[in-house]
Every structure is written in C-alpha cells, then in structure tokens.
Amino acid sequence: MPSLQRTTRLAPSPTGALHLGNARTFLINWALARQNNWQIVLRIEDLDSPRVKPWAKQQAVDDLQWLQMDWDTNAGLQLDDLTPYKQAMSMLREKHLIYPCRCTRKEVVEAQSAPHIDDHELCYPGTCRPVDFSTICEDQPDAAWRVVTQDQPISYTDAFAGEQSHNVSQQVGNFVIATKAGLPAYQLAVVVDDARQGVTDIVRGDDLLRSASRQLWLYQCLELTPLPTYWHLPLVLGPDGRRLAKRHGDTRLSYYREMGTSAEKIIGLIATWSGVHSTRVPMSAMEFKERFDITKLSHDPVTFTDEDDQWLTNN
Ligand code: GLU
C-alpha cells in the first residue's frame, strides 16, 4: 500500500504584517516539510474580517518568498468559496451539535462564575443552549453559532510539545464556530480546510496549543479522519518577556526589507534561535533546511534582543 502523502500548510492571517516571530515558525515549518518530503499548501486565512487588511495578503506572500520559502499548491482565499464551511455547518446542525447564540461579550463576561485566567478566553456558560435542538431553524439573523462540548479531557500527543490534555468545556465551554456576521469562525474554518486540503502535519506557534483540542473535537463531530499531527512551537518574545508585538518596536519583515537588511541575515538570526548556529551569520533558507534538527530545538521561548535588532539593521 502506498504510504500516505504527508502535507503541511503555511497559513498566514493577513490581519497585519508578518514579523520575526511569524518568520521563525514559518521557516521551521518549511524546513521540516522539505526535509521530510511533505507537500506544502499555502493558505491565506482571510476570514477574520474586519481585521483583515487588503494589502497584507500580497505582503505575506512577498515576505515568504523573500525568505526563500516555496510551496507546492496555493489553496486560494477562504472567502472565495464558503460552501465547504456551510456543508460542515449543515452536518453539525443535523447532528444537533450546534445552536444559535445572541449573547454579547458583556453578557458572557457577567455570567462568569469564577474569574478567568485569561479574559480573552471567556468560558461560555451555556446561556442559549436549547433543551430541544430539533426545532432550531437554519436561518438565524445576527446570531453566532456555538458547538456543544463534552465535560471530559481531550488528549493527544503533540509531536513537539508532548502529551496534552485539555477539557474544552471547562476552558471555553461551547465555543463559537460561526460568527454573527454569518462567517465561519477560525476553529471551524481551520478544521474544514485542513481536512479538505489533506493536511496531516500542523506546525504553528504554541499560542494555539489550547485551540488544538477544540479542533480535534470538531474533527470528531464532523467525522473527519485521519486526525492531524500537531507541532506547537515556542513563540518569540520581546526583551520584556511578552509576545513579540508592536510595543517592541518595528519587527515586521517588510520593515527590515525596506531598511536593506538581507533575507540571509533574518534567516541567520532565526538559526541562532533554533539550535542551528550559535552565532549570528547570514544563511540561506536552503542551508537552514540542511542544518535544522527539530530534536535540537529548545522548548523554551526565544527572546528577541536589542543586539539582534542592531545586527539586523547594521548593514
Ligand atoms: N492563520 C493563523 C495565524 O496566522 C494560523 C492558524 C493555524 O495555524 O491554525 O495565526
């Protein structure tokens, strides 16, 4: 029997410019794929309107190409065809697994029984969950849709981060799979797309670690197989220990490109962050791919320092 063709994806969200942290995750993803003969799908995740910036779609492609990455297929834009997500919604509706919800964020905040560790992630108390799902009609203007979850842990082995076990009901409760704007939410879109695009290996930042169990729950609800293998990688932090962001100055790839920094310097910096090289030396993506060894990648987050920035901008 021929072995399953393994496939990964590069999935930038055009909600802003790609920065050095994004570049490290993408470069490692690309190198793993090219080392192991996985196919690479490029998928621009443009569903998150109104946060999507029209210019960011092309810029993400330009940034990845500038960093000498390539891919085998281009999945196109998610907004161009909503049919696959609608089909998934129909299936979930028929299985009585989803229901409409018109709660505002404020209402969900006020309904919290205990202070939540991360207030970006509220735990939905089930306010709109019906007793009888059979009477729910399809047409629900201005409603989000939530999926029923089970109060038990979902466990899986992350190929990089190791054993994971998360109770989705206790973390976020019945989570949103379609927004009030009538669009599929990230959790649903990513599962539908990964499954239909044959993605077997998902490599991404560990800020999405908790999302993986939600996504595995959707695989189960939608009866999708095989389940993907996840590789959640540590993030790049600023000198203050917080996730790399605007507050740390300009770390956009396009900024460095405009400053005249070479792609090889960016890759060389990422190499020092990834167990490839102990000192900063310019390097091609091909050389990075040849030297990169996932077993040597630290499990600790990386810190972007002022010296790193000086090295990049000193031409
Ligand atoms: N588009 C998402 C992001 O850029 C990645 C989603 C995923 O890898 O599942 O954060």
Q: Which of 189, 218, 215, 214 is nearest to 85 (CA)?
A: 189
CA of residue 11 to ligand 1 center, whole Å: 6
For 159-208, the pLDDT digits (tens) are 999 999 999 999 999 999 999 999 999 999 999 999 999 999 999 999 99
Which stretches of the chain drop beneath a pLDDT of 50? Answer: none
Say what the pLDDT of residue 111 is.
82
Residue whose CA is at the smallest distance from ligand 1 atom 6: 11
**Mutation probe of ligand 1 site: the residue of 45, 78, 213, 235 with most atoms within 8 A of C-beta:** 45
Say what the pLDDT of residue 49 is.
77
**Mutation probe of ligand 1 site: the residue of 25, 52, 190 with most atoms within 8 A of C-beta:** 190
Question: Residue 310 and residue 315: Cα distance in Å, rounded?
Answer: 9
Question: Contact, 160 vs 293, CB < 8 A?
Answer: no
Say what the pLDDT of residue 87 is.
98
CA of residue 2 to ligand 1 center, whole Å: 30
211 CA closest ligand 1 atom index: 9
Question: Residue 137 and residue 140: Cα distance in Å, rounded?
Answer: 7
Say what the pLDDT of residue 116 is.
52
Say what the pLDDT of residue 50 is.
82
User: Model's pTM, two decimal places?
Assistant: 0.95
CA of residue 315 to ligand 1 center, whole Å: 32
For 103-132, the pLDDT digits (tens) are 998 888 888 766 555 557 899 999 999 999
Amino acid letter, residue 177? I
Question: Contact, 170 vs 7, CB < 8 A?
Answer: no
CA of residue 208 to ligand 1 center, whole Å: 8
CB-based pocket (< 6 A), ligand 1: 11-13, 45, 190, 204, 208
CA of residue 204 to ligand 1 center, whole Å: 7
Instruction: Name the one residue in this structure whose structure tokens are 């993605």.
Output: 199
